[in-house]
Amino acid sequence: MADFKVVVADPKTKSYQFDVTGAEANKFVGKSIGETVEGSLVGLPGYTLKITGGSDKSGMVMRPDLPGPKRQKVLVANGTGYSPVSKGVRRRKMMRGKEVAPDIVQINTVVAEYGSDTIEKILGGDEEPAEEVEAATEE
């Protein structure tokens, strides 16, 4: 059984983290970086989320140009998971493929299509209390 922490980045506001377990989590298994999933899997009906990356329990990052879900030792010069200290430096690093597997812990996503309600309204953090605070300070 897979359990994931799904981080949803909203370019308009901020990021949100959701814990996904059970049948909803199993729908992520087999998806690759760049694919879209329904937002209802994390509790955001009407939204569409694009998978942008993730990591496993030991912090190995998913790399979008590696096929499959397994860990691989790869010679890298730049890109996801490696920043060279000077130009031309390459290093062999352990990285994970682009496919989501059950041993992934965190999945990073970004909002591809928005639903009718804002994420704040769906999560229960309405903007009304902020307006009430402003009205109370004016008196």
Domain annotation covers residue 81: no
3-state secondary structure 31-79: CECCCEEEHHHCCCCCCEEEEEEEEECCCCEECCCCCCCCEEEEEECCC
User: 34 lies in a domain?
Assistant: yes
The parent domain of residue 24 ranges over: 4-66+96-138
Task: State residue 1's pLDDT score.
Answer: 64
Residue 46 has pLDDT above 70, yes or no: yes
**Residue 88 resides in a domain:** no
The chain-wide mean pLDDT, for the chain, equals 86
pLDDT greater than 70 at residue 74? yes
Residue 72 placed within a domain: no
Q: What is the pLDDT of residue 125?
A: 66
- Counted domains in the chain: 1
